[in-house]
Amino acid sequence: MNVEQNALFAPPSEAWTPVARNYTRLRRLMSLINWVFVALIVIMPQVIVLQLVAGARSSLRWTLIASSGAIIALAVWRIWRQGAIARSWAYAERESDLYIKSGIFNRRLTVVPYGRMQAVHISAGPIERAFTLATVKLVTASAQSDAMIPGLDPQAAAALRDRLTERGETQATGL
Protein backbone atom coordinates (compact mmCIF):
# COMPACT_ATOMS: atom_id res chain seq x y z
CA MET A 1 0.00 0.00 0.00
CA ASN A 2 1.45 3.36 -0.93
CA VAL A 3 1.98 6.34 1.37
CA GLU A 4 -1.10 8.22 0.13
CA GLN A 5 -3.38 5.29 0.95
CA ASN A 6 -1.85 4.90 4.42
CA ALA A 7 -2.37 8.62 5.06
CA LEU A 8 -6.02 8.18 4.13
CA PHE A 9 -6.54 5.92 7.17
CA ALA A 10 -4.38 7.73 9.75
CA PRO A 11 -5.47 10.62 11.92
CA PRO A 12 -3.01 13.51 11.94
CA SER A 13 -0.42 13.14 14.73
CA GLU A 14 -2.56 10.87 16.90
CA ALA A 15 -1.75 7.41 18.21
CA TRP A 16 -4.23 4.58 17.72
CA THR A 17 -5.54 2.78 20.80
CA PRO A 18 -5.97 -0.94 20.02
CA VAL A 19 -8.74 -3.18 21.31
CA ALA A 20 -8.10 -5.78 24.05
CA ARG A 21 -6.09 -8.92 23.28
CA ASN A 22 -9.00 -11.11 24.37
CA TYR A 23 -10.90 -9.89 21.31
CA THR A 24 -8.72 -12.12 19.11
CA ARG A 25 -9.61 -15.18 21.17
CA LEU A 26 -13.30 -14.28 21.02
CA ARG A 27 -13.22 -13.86 17.24
CA ARG A 28 -11.37 -17.16 16.83
CA LEU A 29 -13.90 -19.02 18.97
CA MET A 30 -16.83 -17.53 17.03
CA SER A 31 -15.16 -18.40 13.74
CA LEU A 32 -14.57 -21.98 14.90
CA ILE A 33 -18.23 -22.34 15.88
CA ASN A 34 -19.36 -20.99 12.49
CA TRP A 35 -17.06 -23.37 10.60
CA VAL A 36 -18.29 -26.37 12.60
CA PHE A 37 -21.81 -25.56 11.39
CA VAL A 38 -20.60 -25.14 7.80
CA ALA A 39 -18.81 -28.48 7.99
CA LEU A 40 -21.93 -30.19 9.31
CA ILE A 41 -24.11 -28.70 6.58
CA VAL A 42 -21.71 -29.68 3.78
CA ILE A 43 -20.30 -32.99 4.99
CA MET A 44 -23.27 -34.67 6.72
CA PRO A 45 -25.38 -35.08 3.55
CA GLN A 46 -22.41 -36.75 1.86
CA VAL A 47 -21.94 -39.11 4.81
CA ILE A 48 -25.63 -40.02 4.71
CA VAL A 49 -25.46 -40.75 0.98
CA LEU A 50 -22.39 -42.94 1.51
CA GLN A 51 -24.24 -44.92 4.18
CA LEU A 52 -27.42 -45.29 2.12
CA VAL A 53 -25.69 -46.49 -1.02
CA ALA A 54 -24.68 -50.06 -0.25
CA GLY A 55 -21.79 -50.34 -2.66
CA ALA A 56 -20.67 -46.75 -2.44
CA ARG A 57 -18.31 -45.89 -5.21
CA SER A 58 -14.83 -44.77 -4.39
CA SER A 59 -15.55 -41.50 -6.25
CA LEU A 60 -18.15 -40.66 -3.57
CA ARG A 61 -15.59 -41.32 -0.87
CA TRP A 62 -13.05 -39.10 -2.63
CA THR A 63 -15.65 -36.35 -2.93
CA LEU A 64 -16.23 -36.55 0.82
CA ILE A 65 -12.49 -36.51 1.53
CA ALA A 66 -11.88 -33.57 -0.85
CA SER A 67 -14.76 -31.46 0.48
CA SER A 68 -13.75 -32.23 4.08
CA GLY A 69 -10.16 -31.24 3.33
CA ALA A 70 -11.25 -28.01 1.64
CA ILE A 71 -13.51 -27.05 4.54
CA ILE A 72 -10.82 -27.81 7.11
CA ALA A 73 -8.23 -25.78 5.15
CA LEU A 74 -10.60 -22.80 4.81
CA ALA A 75 -11.58 -23.01 8.47
CA VAL A 76 -7.96 -23.08 9.64
CA TRP A 77 -7.10 -20.11 7.41
CA ARG A 78 -10.13 -18.08 8.55
CA ILE A 79 -9.53 -18.84 12.22
CA TRP A 80 -5.87 -17.85 11.85
CA ARG A 81 -6.84 -14.58 10.07
CA GLN A 82 -9.06 -13.52 12.98
CA GLY A 83 -5.93 -12.24 14.74
CA ALA A 84 -5.24 -9.75 11.95
CA ILE A 85 -8.90 -8.76 11.78
CA ALA A 86 -8.99 -8.11 15.54
CA ARG A 87 -5.74 -6.13 15.39
CA SER A 88 -7.20 -3.92 12.64
CA TRP A 89 -9.68 -2.41 15.14
CA ALA A 90 -8.41 0.73 16.84
CA TYR A 91 -9.55 4.21 17.78
CA ALA A 92 -7.95 7.61 18.26
CA GLU A 93 -9.38 10.40 20.38
CA ARG A 94 -8.75 13.86 19.01
CA GLU A 95 -9.69 17.26 20.35
CA SER A 96 -12.95 17.53 18.42
CA ASP A 97 -13.63 14.05 17.03
CA LEU A 98 -13.12 10.32 17.41
CA TYR A 99 -11.50 8.18 14.70
CA ILE A 100 -12.36 4.47 14.44
CA LYS A 101 -10.60 2.17 11.97
CA SER A 102 -11.10 -1.47 11.09
CA GLY A 103 -10.67 -4.02 8.34
CA ILE A 104 -7.80 -5.68 6.54
CA PHE A 105 -9.24 -6.24 3.07
CA ASN A 106 -11.91 -3.57 3.09
CA ARG A 107 -10.40 -0.89 5.28
CA ARG A 108 -12.79 1.46 7.00
CA LEU A 109 -12.30 4.76 8.78
CA THR A 110 -15.14 6.42 10.68
CA VAL A 111 -14.83 9.95 12.04
CA VAL A 112 -17.39 10.99 14.65
CA PRO A 113 -17.41 14.65 15.73
CA TYR A 114 -18.10 14.86 19.46
CA GLY A 115 -20.74 17.54 18.89
CA ARG A 116 -22.78 15.10 16.75
CA MET A 117 -22.97 12.35 19.36
CA GLN A 118 -26.37 11.85 20.90
CA ALA A 119 -25.67 8.81 23.06
CA VAL A 120 -22.92 6.37 23.97
CA HIS A 121 -23.97 2.75 24.57
CA ILE A 122 -21.93 0.00 26.19
CA SER A 123 -22.98 -3.59 25.63
CA ALA A 124 -21.58 -6.97 26.60
CA GLY A 125 -23.34 -10.19 25.73
CA PRO A 126 -22.73 -13.43 27.61
CA ILE A 127 -19.85 -14.52 25.38
CA GLU A 128 -18.23 -11.07 25.57
CA ARG A 129 -18.57 -11.11 29.35
CA ALA A 130 -16.91 -14.55 29.46
CA PHE A 131 -13.91 -12.97 27.70
CA THR A 132 -14.18 -9.79 29.87
CA LEU A 133 -14.95 -7.60 26.86
CA ALA A 134 -17.43 -4.86 26.04
CA THR A 135 -18.53 -2.92 22.95
CA VAL A 136 -18.94 0.86 22.82
CA LYS A 137 -21.48 2.10 20.28
CA LEU A 138 -21.97 5.75 19.37
CA VAL A 139 -25.36 7.08 18.37
CA THR A 140 -25.22 10.17 16.17
CA ALA A 141 -27.68 12.36 14.31
CA SER A 142 -27.00 10.35 11.14
CA ALA A 143 -29.17 7.31 10.57
CA GLN A 144 -26.32 5.71 8.62
CA SER A 145 -23.80 5.98 11.43
CA ASP A 146 -22.70 2.65 12.81
CA ALA A 147 -19.73 3.80 14.83
CA MET A 148 -18.76 1.13 17.31
CA ILE A 149 -15.63 -0.15 18.99
CA PRO A 150 -15.83 -3.85 19.90
CA GLY A 151 -13.44 -5.81 22.07
CA LEU A 152 -12.68 -3.29 24.79
CA ASP A 153 -11.76 -4.12 28.36
CA PRO A 154 -14.81 -3.16 30.50
CA GLN A 155 -12.84 -0.58 32.50
CA ALA A 156 -11.45 0.95 29.28
CA ALA A 157 -14.97 0.97 27.80
CA ALA A 158 -16.37 2.77 30.87
CA ALA A 159 -13.55 5.33 30.82
CA LEU A 160 -14.04 5.90 27.07
CA ARG A 161 -17.79 6.29 27.60
CA ASP A 162 -17.19 8.93 30.28
CA ARG A 163 -14.66 10.85 28.15
CA LEU A 164 -16.89 10.75 25.07
CA THR A 165 -19.94 11.86 27.04
CA GLU A 166 -18.03 14.74 28.60
CA ARG A 167 -16.55 15.85 25.27
CA GLY A 168 -19.92 15.47 23.57
CA GLU A 169 -21.62 17.70 26.14
CA THR A 170 -18.84 20.27 25.88
CA GLN A 171 -18.94 20.32 22.06
CA ALA A 172 -22.74 20.40 21.90
CA THR A 173 -22.99 23.41 24.21
CA GLY A 174 -20.27 25.26 22.33
CA LEU A 175 -17.96 25.65 25.35
pLDDT tens-digit profile of 53-94?
756 666 777 878 888 899 999 999 999 999 999 999 999 998
Closest CA to 153 of 21, 16, 15: 21
pLDDT class for 48, splitting at 50, 70, 90? confident
The 8-class DSSP code of residue 76 comes to H
d(CA 139, CA 129): 22
Task: Determine the pLDDT at residue 44.
Answer: 84
Q: Is 16 helix (H, G, I), strand (E, B) or coil?
A: coil
d(CA 122, CA 137): 6
d(CA 123, CA 87): 20
Q: Give the chain's mean pLDDT.
A: 86
Query: Which fold is adopted by the domain 3-18+90-173?
Result: PH-domain like (2.30.29)
pLDDT class for 37, splitting at 50, 70, 90? very high
Q: What is the CA radius of gyration of the chain?
A: 22
Residue ranges of domains in the chain: 3-18+90-173, 22-85
